[in-house]
Amino acid sequence: MSTSNNFVQNRKSLAEDMPELVKTARGDKSASLVIENAKMVNVISGEIQSDIDIAVQGTRIAYVGSDASHTIGEDTVRIHAHGNYVAPGLIDGHCHIESSQITPKQFARAVLPKGTTGGFFDAHEIANVLGLKGLRLMLNELRQTPMAGYMQVASCVPSTSTDFETSGANIGPEEVAEAFTWGDDMIALGEVMNFPGVVFGDDKMMGEIQETLKAGRVADGHYTWPSNDWRMSAYAASGISGDHEVTSGEEVIDRVRLGMYAKLRRGSAWHDVVPTITAYTEQGIDSRRFMLVTDDRSPESLVDEGHMDFVVRHAIEQGVPPVVAFQMATINSAERFGLSQDIGSIAPGRFADIIILDGPLPEVNVQTTIAAGVVVAENGEMTDVWESDPYPKEAQQSVHLNPSFQAENFSIEAPHGTIDGTYRARAIKVRENHVDTKEEHIQVSVENGTVALPQHEDVCKMSVIERHGKGGNQSNTLLTNVGFTKPAAFASTVAHDSHNLMVIGNDDSLMAKAANEVITMQGGVAVVTEEGTVTQPLPVAGLMSPEPFEKVAEQSRAISQALVAAGCTMNYAFMTLSLLALVVIPELRLSDKGLIQHTDEGFVHVPLIIND
């Protein structure tokens, strides 16, 4: 296996490549690569074509038809498909690379052998830590991979406003306009999570969307209010034309009817395809505005389950015809972003992003991955490898806290003037395999001015500590349904979306130890019990590791196993726990500035103790 540390993307425009493609198609120039005797998944016509040859010139497809022999020369690389299926390379229509805890190059290494050749990536995780500098780091590294990678400008940094949370940076209309000057691969505005701001005309959100539309780009959405009233139309009227926060068939239909694309999500812990795909399988809605996406995939789930190949298989298992499932993972996403002339199908003029499958089509067993006309993976392994570039000091020293936390830092103080006694309190209830939480009311006792955890109940404390060097705010609250059956604590700088330091536990001393472990690592994850400590360093912005994805996957698996040993048995528990500080998702969240509740008017601060 060769090593190429400086792989540079070589995807030119069709205008530049066109003359050579035409020469090749008519046989005046030999193809660089030809695939022979394939069953082709034609996602444009919605059919399977047999006995197909595909001729490639450089990075693009020159010929598709029954006989490419006139394009074959002495130097042509020939691949005999032996009647196996070929399909367009898979495209992730909405993904946060940082959620996989690996850098863009390592992400490409993980997903290319599984058939993902492109994607639309919203780097709002690192942008909330480092602003445009973080976004630029991700873009530049993604450009050094064979993938057709397109970046989106983070729209919500912070996700709501500084009234509700503290992030490491702030992105507004001017920054959005600047980012769109970086190149055509800055393709869209990332998910607009501050949907109340859009509906009620917040100047910052309106300005960001206007700059996007002026630049000729599209805007992605994130909308969790009911979609059957006037507010959904107001959101769509802003120009936002795609949304992945759909959790039912009805919500899919509501969006498609308003001209939006519905993104059906199957992440590691977000199992939304089953309820949402019914809009097609049961209601018969036209599927060409349906997109399959991952949103977030943990590193071990990439190893154990796969990436977009897994999502396509999953959709087929729900009754979606294979060709339709492939459309949802290729051409539909390409059309949504205005790139169907470049990616998303096997047709003349398109980039040669092609996968060859082994076995029946529904199994989506990727044997060979071709990206931009080059075989980059075979039989589950990359044919070429590269190393990540060193990250700047600023990106690796982003946790501006001292490892000096004590047990008393996690004591929950009752409101001033509260006498000892029993009270009703708000608690955040975790929901397995769901992004949302529920507001639960529980009985707590106040003793000597502090809130005590109920005995023999599944109740933890949760703390969010500002870590960007902007004052060190700390808020504490109560959390239910985590499942800890012994004294335990979990701490992480992966705490969507402001990515402050989040600590969860039922023992104040262990919570302090977990917090200090993560600070000492300059970011990452720690699980602490009386038996010991398990850690996962994530030094790049406190979100990612520069290590090979295989190593990161094993570290992440160790964290999962430590959580299970402590009693937290939720599926991919880390993914669910990491969302508990994301204030834009219902119903109740915690930020460094306190408890945030969702209402029909937007976000509001609420107290822990309920005064009846």
- Model pLDDT, residue 9: 58
The one-letter amino acid code at 531 reads E
Can you read off the two tokens belonging to residue 143? 């450009």
* pLDDT band with cut points at 50, 70 and 90 for residue 4: very low
- Mean pLDDT in residue range 551-576: 96
d(CA 151, CA 193): 17
- What is the side-by-side strand order in the sheet with 261-265? 90-95, 116-122, 148-153, 186-192, 218-221, 240-243, 261-265, 290-293
∠ CA 224-498-209 to the nearest 5 degrees? 55
- Mean pLDDT in residue range 543-560: 97
Q: Note the pLDDT tens digit of each residue in 475-513.
A: 999 999 999 999 999 999 999 999 999 999 999 999 999
Residues 6+ apart with CB under 8 A from 221: 191, 192, 195, 235, 240, 241, 242, 243, 244, 245, 260
Tell me the three state secondary structure of residue 390. Answer: coil
- Model pLDDT, residue 455: 83
- Find how far residue 536's CA is from the centre of its chain: 20
Helices 549-565 and 104-111 cross at an angle (nearest 10°) of 90
* Statement: residue 243 has pLDDT above 70: yes
**401: nearest Cα among 474, 505, 507:** 474
Separation of first and last alpha carbons in the chain: 69
Tell me the three-class secondary structure of 10-66, residue by residue. CCCCHHHHHHHHHHHHHCCCCCCEEEEEEEEEECCCCEEEEEEEEEEECCEEEEEEC
162 touches 131 (CB < 8 A): no
Look at 6-15, 366-375, 520-529, 599-608 and tell me which has the smallest mean pLDDT.
Answer: 6-15
- Find how far residue 595's CA is from the centre of its chain: 25
DSSP one-letter code for 556: H
- Model pLDDT, residue 5: 38
- Report CA Rg, the chain: 25
Q: How far is CA 180 from CA 198, 215, 415, in A?
A: 21, 7, 47
- Whether domain 87-389 has CATH 2.60.120.380: no
197 touches 163 (CB < 8 A): no
Q: Note the pLDDT tens digit of each residue in 282-310.
A: 999 999 999 999 999 999 999 999 999 99
d(CA 29, CA 11): 20
* pLDDT band with cut points at 50, 70 and 90 for residue 161: confident
Can you read off the two tokens belonging to residue 171? 């992105």
Look at 137-151, 376-390, 528-542, 592-606 and tell me which has the smallest mean pLDDT.
Answer: 376-390
**151: nearest Cα among 126, 125, 127, 119:** 119
Q: Note the pLDDT tens digit of each residue in 342-368.
A: 999 999 999 999 999 999 999 999 999
DSSP one-letter code for 414: P
Q: Note the pLDDT tens digit of each residue in 83-120.
A: 999 999 999 999 999 999 999 999 999 999 999 999 99
User: Residue 77 forms beta bridges with which residues?
Assistant: 33
d(CA 191, CA 243): 8
Tell me the three-class secondary structure of 88-126, residue by residue. ECEEEEEECHHHHCECHHHHHHHHHHHCEEEEEEECHHH
φ, ψ for residue 545, nearest 5 deg: -110, 140
Strands (E), 337-458: 354-357, 366-371, 374-378, 381-382, 384-385, 412-413, 421-429, 438-447, 450-452
Q: How far is CA 50 from CA 23, 33, 64, 83, in A?
A: 25, 19, 12, 8
- Model pLDDT, residue 113: 98
- Mean pLDDT in residue range 583-595: 95
Element (H, E) at 242: strand 240-243
Q: Which own/partner contact pairs does 429-432 have at CB distance under 8 Å and 24+ positions apart?
A: 429/479, 429/480, 429/481, 429/588, 430/479, 430/480, 430/481, 430/482, 430/570, 430/576, 430/577, 430/580, 431/481, 431/576, 432/269, 432/481, 432/570, 432/571, 432/576
Residues 6+ apart with CB under 8 A from 559: 525, 527, 534, 536, 574
- Model pLDDT, residue 270: 87
Q: Where are the alpha helices (DSSP H) in 419-476?
A: none
How does the average pLDDT of the chain come out, rounded? 95
Q: Is the peptide bond before 497 cis (omega within 30 degrees of 0)?
A: yes
Query: What's the maximum distance between 2 C-alpha atoms anywhere in the chain?
Result: 90
Look at 8-22, 193-207, 364-378 and tell me which has the smallest mean pLDDT.
Answer: 8-22
- Model pLDDT, residue 79: 98
Q: How many CA atoms lie within 13 A of 217 on its CB side?
A: 26
- Model pLDDT, residue 269: 87
Q: Is the peptide bond before 381 cis (omega within 30 degrees of 0)?
A: no
Can you read off the two tokens belonging to residue 466? 């500002």
- Mean pLDDT in residue range 125-142: 97
34 touches 68 (CB < 8 A): yes
The full set of domain ranges for the chain reads 87-389, 394-605
- Model pLDDT, residue 7: 42
* pLDDT band with cut points at 50, 70 and 90 for residue 2: very low
**548: nearest Cα among 302, 327, 369:** 302
- Model pLDDT, residue 3: 36
- Model pLDDT, residue 600: 82
- Mean pLDDT in residue range 146-166: 94
d(CA 188, CA 179): 10
- Find how far residue 301's CA is from the centre of its chain: 13
292 touches 316 (CB < 8 A): no
- Mean pLDDT in residue range 133-152: 96
Q: How many CA atoms lie within 13 A of 271 on its CB side?
A: 10
